[in-house]
Chains A and B, each alone.
Chain A
């Protein structure tokens, strides 16, 4: 199926990859649980318990390769998990002593803020997909930022980030940036071109972790874009 649980023969690797993915996509799952009417703390516990349940029962390893995207799989699994009240109760009781993923205060606050921003604008599935899209681009930007930092080009990334991420402010002119960065306009153009290309690859790499094929990468991006356009 997807990179997170690629092989049953390598459950530890699959588990580690899943844990990493879960950290990245914690917010959309939390938002979904919140949209079901759970309180902040219950939603946090349930989200954590859901991940513990996934790992413990190796649900990711049982998933059929043909089933496709991790996003759909995760949402379906979460729905099943929440629907099974008895299972949930049992897991919650045990989960009190077993935290498999550290929950950071900042991460929880950001997820709650995301939920507050978008709740009421669409149904719970839309809310999940919207949160997923945000987590996806954030992960790609994070990956790219780390790469630039490693190349000692952190400042360049900060200055040029707006060319891919946009924002409320108008884009700076090339003249302003050449002054600020002390480079020529032609060099700047080539930096921007490269940044766009590298971001595109970082984003597609991130998506590739959650789908089976290159074709599905495009499909996943189009679907998520469609979700955003529905607003």
Chain B
């Protein structure tokens, strides 16, 4: 380094001594890493706070300096060869813009995106989702039961439905891109950004060619480099559901070629599902979802969602009579529904109920309602849009359900008599199921309208 002879270990003793006197080396706190409005947060030891790490990008915990909120910031290092490329930059921005337009309770929202001034990095800020990935959950607790796995798959399929209305596909749907918050509520991360990430990160392994995604969960057509559509995500959802049920990928392998060959040549190892006592209707659905030919898979996310719902209902029917506690909670919800129905024919009462529901929902803190927060927010937005006359494509019946559900979810204790012995034990998972069952189509339609309007 300084030209002085080195010691037997090849170290420069003079340089090593000089560092001890180097005042600039005292700055042990590294400079804050910042991208646009976002500053990467630091661990107590001064290192950058990494939330995750992929082949091309790193996800940091970061602070939005303007809006003063925490976000997940994905930073992709652009290879030096591509840094001057306006095309790479434009492509990234175009795809990130499309992804940012998607808003859905089961998708981690993309808030902002951009490139660093020297074009060395592309980044986007996502909603910070507190929880764990489906991959981590299965690693920790083992495979999920069919009911739990279906609950997750249904939420993913709803997100895919919303994405379909934007002609957006994920391309890299897999257990490690599914965040689970609270009681298995789903948030899909990196939606619509897999290709943007790959494009910006450039230098894929040559053997990967144009491949975008993760081989284990990718559809067979993704290996060909040809056009892919929403049915690739449906395949990936099938693989993810398979993993959730068995803890295994249907076609594992060590290399891209091995995985591709297995997917196109080998049959599905259905014995894994049978060994885990996965119900027959679900096995059948997985077979079609994981069909090699995209034409043999469910044609759309909606079709898949409906098939998944059927499977779930068949499970519920088999599980028998509801517990006394659940019935009681149903009764409370029935009361909310009766109230809402009573107002339905009277515009003034309905108006009063709107306002009361909206006021309650706006007043509650997010924390105690974390699990239902996304539903609440969407319901509230729908009611407001309806109230402002911007959105009218909702039937009276659906509206009544939404008002009742909002009232119930915001304040169930209002509706449960004080002498109820279970008051302190209320777990409204069953009501949420009931509500979402009835209101989901309405909410999905509203979100589609909302996204288009935006």
**Chain A residues in the interface with B (C-beta under 8 A):** 110, 113-114, 117, 133-134, 136-138, 140-141, 164-168, 175, 178, 182-187, 189-191, 193-194, 196-201, 203-204, 207, 217-218, 221-222, 224-225, 228-229, 231
- Could you say which residues of chain B place their CB within 8 Å of the CB of A231? 4-5
Given A183-B58, A184-B77, A228-B4, the answer on whether A200 and B47 have CB atoms closer than 8 Å is: no
- Could you say which residues of chain A place their CB within 8 Å of the CB of B16? 137, 140-141, 164-166, 199, 203
Indicate if B67 sits at the interface (CB-CB under 8 A): no
Contact partner, B58, options A165, A187, A224, Cβ 8 Å: A187
Given A137-B17, A207-B20, A221-B17, the answer on whether A186 and B4 have CB atoms closer than 8 Å is: no
Contact partner, B27, options A133, A178, A189, A197, Cβ 8 Å: A197
Contact partner, A182, options B10, B48, B53, Cβ 8 Å: B53
**Chain B residues in the interface with A (C-beta under 8 A):** 1-2, 4-22, 25-28, 30-31, 33, 45-48, 50, 53, 58, 75, 77, 80, 120-121
Contact partner, B20, options A114, A193, A200, A229, Cβ 8 Å: A200
Report the Cα distance A133→B18, complex, angstroms.
11
Find out whether the CB atom of A228 lies under 8 angstroms from the CB atom of B8: no
* 11 A-B pairs with C-beta separation under 8 A: A113-B8, A134-B7, A134-B13, A166-B16, A167-B11, A167-B12, A184-B77, A184-B121, A197-B27, A203-B16, A228-B14
Find out whether the CB atom of A168 lies under 8 angstroms from the CB atom of B6: yes
Given A165-B11, A166-B15, A196-B25, the answer on whether A221 and B20 have CB atoms closer than 8 Å is: yes
Find out whether the CB atom of A168 lies under 8 angstroms from the CB atom of B10: yes
By CB atoms of chain A within 10 A, which of B5, B21, B47 has the most? B21
- Could you say which residues of chain B place their CB within 8 Å of the CB of A137? 11, 13, 16-17
- Could you say which residues of chain B place their CB within 8 Å of the CB of A168? 6, 10
Contact partner, A166, options B11, B21, B46, Cβ 8 Å: B11
In the assembled complex, how far is the CB of residue B443 from the closest CB belonging to chain A, in whole angstroms? Answer: 39
Find out whether the CB atom of B19 lies under 8 angstroms from the CB atom of A203: yes
- Could you say which residues of chain A place their CB within 8 Å of the CB of B50? 187
Find out whether the CB atom of A194 lies under 8 angstroms from the CB atom of B19: no
Can you name the residue of chain B whose Cβ is closest to the Cβ of A164? B19
Not counting A190-B31, A190-B33, a sample of 4 additional A-B residue pairs whose C-beta atoms are within 8 angstroms of each other reads: A168-B10, A183-B58, A189-B30, A207-B20
Contact partner, B8, options A114, A133, A175, A200, Cβ 8 Å: A114
Find out whether the CB atom of B21 lies under 8 angstroms from the CB atom of A225: yes
Find out whether the CB atom of A190 lies under 8 angstroms from the CB atom of B46: yes
Report the Cα distance A138→B17, complex, angstroms.
11
Find out whether the CB atom of A196 lies under 8 angstroms from the CB atom of B22: yes
Report the Cα distance A207→B2, complex, angstroms.
22
Report the Cα distance A118→B7, complex, angstroms.
10
- Could you say which residues of chain A place their CB within 8 Å of the CB of B15? 164-166
Can you name the residue of chain A whose Cβ is closest to the Cβ of B76? A184
Given A190-B46, A190-B47, A231-B5, the answer on whether A225 and B17 have CB atoms closer than 8 Å is: yes
Given A184-B77, A187-B48, A193-B28, the answer on whether A228 and B21 have CB atoms closer than 8 Å is: no
Report the Cα distance A228→B8, complex, angstroms.
15
Report the Cα distance A154→B50, complex, angstroms.
19
Given A190-B48, A197-B26, the answer on whether A133 and B11 have CB atoms closer than 8 Å is: no
Report the Cα distance A226→B50, complex, angstroms.
43
Find out whether the CB atom of A175 lies under 8 angstroms from the CB atom of B80: yes
Find out whether the CB atom of A225 lies under 8 angstroms from the CB atom of B18: yes
Report the Cα distance A207→B145, complex, angstroms.
61
Report the Cα distance A169→B9, complex, angstroms.
13
In the assembled complex, how far is the CB of residue A143 from the closest CB belonging to chain B, in whole angstroms? Answer: 13
Find out whether the CB atom of A224 lies under 8 angstroms from the CB atom of B77: no
Closest CB pairs A-B (n = 5): A166-B1, A190-B30, A166-B12, A197-B28, A165-B11
Can you name the residue of chain A whose Cβ is closest to the Cβ of B45? A194
In the assembled complex, how far is the CB of residue B249 from the closest CB belonging to chain A, in whole angstroms? Answer: 23
Can you name the residue of chain A whose Cβ is closest to the Cβ of B42? A190
Find out whether the CB atom of B6 lies under 8 angstroms from the CB atom of A194: no
In the assembled complex, how far is the CB of residue A132 from the closest CB belonging to chain B, in whole angstroms? Answer: 10
Find out whether the CB atom of B11 lies under 8 angstroms from the CB atom of A196: no
- Could you say which residues of chain A place their CB within 8 Å of the CB of B33? 186, 190
Can you name the residue of chain A whose Cβ is closest to the Cβ of B16? A137
Report the Cα distance A146→B353, complex, angstroms.
67
Report the Cα distance A201→B20, complex, angstroms.
7
By CB atoms of chain B within 10 A, which of A110, A165, A231 has the most? A165
Find out whether the CB atom of B58 lies under 8 angstroms from the CB atom of A166: no
Report the Cα distance A231→B13, complex, angstroms.
12
By CB atoms of chain A within 10 A, which of B13, B33, B75 has the most? B13
- Could you say which residues of chain A place their CB within 8 Å of the CB of B12? 165-167
Contact partner, B10, options A114, A167, A187, Cβ 8 Å: A167
Find out whether the CB atom of A199 lies under 8 angstroms from the CB atom of B48: no
Report the Cα distance A114→B20, complex, angstroms.
23
Report the Cα distance A167→B2, complex, angstroms.
10
Find out whether the CB atom of A200 lies under 8 angstroms from the CB atom of B58: no
Find out whether the CB atom of B19 lies under 8 angstroms from the CB atom of A199: yes
In the assembled complex, how far is the CB of residue B209 from the closest CB belonging to chain A, in whole angstroms? Answer: 20
Can you name the residue of chain B whose Cβ is closest to the Cβ of A161? B11
Can you name the residue of chain B whose Cβ is closest to the Cβ of A193? B30
In the assembled complex, how far is the CB of residue B106 from the closest CB belonging to chain A, in whole angstroms? Answer: 29
Contact partner, B6, options A113, A166, A191, A224, Cβ 8 Å: A166
Find out whether the CB atom of A228 lies under 8 angstroms from the CB atom of B75: no
Report the Cα distance A93→B30, complex, angstroms.
57
- Could you say which residues of chain B place their CB within 8 Å of the CB of A207? 20
Report the Cα distance A134→B12, complex, angstroms.
10
Find out whether the CB atom of B4 lies under 8 angstroms from the CB atom of A110: no
Find out whether the CB atom of A194 lies under 8 angstroms from the CB atom of B11: no
Report the Cα distance A178→B50, complex, angstroms.
16
- Could you say which residues of chain B place their CB within 8 Å of the CB of A194? 28, 30, 45-47
- Could you say which residues of chain B place their CB within 8 Å of the CB of A224? 17
Report the Cα distance A72→B149, complex, angstroms.
73
Report the Cα distance A138→B12, complex, angstroms.
11
Contact partner, B22, options A167, A200, A229, Cβ 8 Å: A200
- Could you say which residues of chain A place their CB within 8 Å of the CB of B77? 178, 184-185
- Could you say which residues of chain B place their CB within 8 Å of the CB of A178? 77
